Amino acid sequence: AQKITQTQPGMFVQEKEAVTLDCTYDTSDPSYGLFWYKQPSSGEMIFLIYQGSYDQQNATEGRYSLNFQKARKSANLVISASQLGDSAMYFCAQGDSSNTGKLIFGQGTTLQVKP
Amino acid sequence: DTEVTQTPKHLVMGMTNKKSLKCEQHMGHRAMYWYKQKAKKPPELMFVYSYEKLSINESVPSRFSPECPNSSLLNLHLHALQPEDSALYLCASSHVRTDNSPLHFGNGTRLTVT
């Protein structure tokens, strides 16, 4: 069964510094996608970044980048130049190729940015 | 602004009430979802509609009844709920394949059952 593991329940980072949020996954699917979402206290789930299993390069979207290590089955999110508005819960998730439409979420990491 | 619109934002209902949650998207997505999320927990999948047909029901109690009238709309009808059903209900949409297509979520409906 697919599983996503986020080992950091909570993280602190100083404003303007970079932070890495960990995510490991376990799947036997040859084709899969990995996603990161941000959920502020308001509740909306905001899509941040996507990495495909066949992508040769690490995904980047503005201040977000994904450190994808396929052999280690890890897809860590790196946030550069942290801002106070980055304080939120972050979820790693995996989609699969079975066309079920299911998205498997990790338990989440709460990030707090300190001024 | 989110491209998936959910109404209402907040809902308080008694255990004998009947209410509906509504979701609308105009991104051309043919898969739509209902998720339930408790505080500090990840979203839990409830239902998936693919091409307007129910494709997944994650053993959800019958007091929750989904409906997909067309490719843009998704409803969740609520009846005889329990206090433990209080949660954030998130609607999402995507292309049918999710190995390479993100889900786009709405802002959610915060439901309180009294």
Give pLDDT tens digits for B82-104. Answer: 999 999 999 999 988 766 778 99
Give pLDDT tens digits for B21-51. Answer: 999 999 999 999 999 999 999 999 999 999 9
Q: Would you state the pLDDT for residue A98?
A: 67
Å from B91 to nearest chain A CA?
10
CB–CB of B98 and A95 under 8 A?
yes
Q: Would you state the pLDDT for residue B95?
A: 87
Give backbone dihedrals phi and psi of B85, rounded to 5 degrees, phi first: -80, -5
Give pLDDT tens digits for B43-75. Answer: 999 999 999 999 999 999 999 999 999 999 999
Q: Would you state the pLDDT for residue A13?
A: 97
Residues 6+ apart with CB under 8 A from A104: A2, A3, A4, A93, A94, A95, A96
Among B90, B100, B109, the strongest candidate for a mutation testing the A interface, having the largest count of A CBs within 10 A, is B100
Residue of A nearest to B88 (CA): A43
Q: Would you state the pLDDT for residue A31?
A: 83
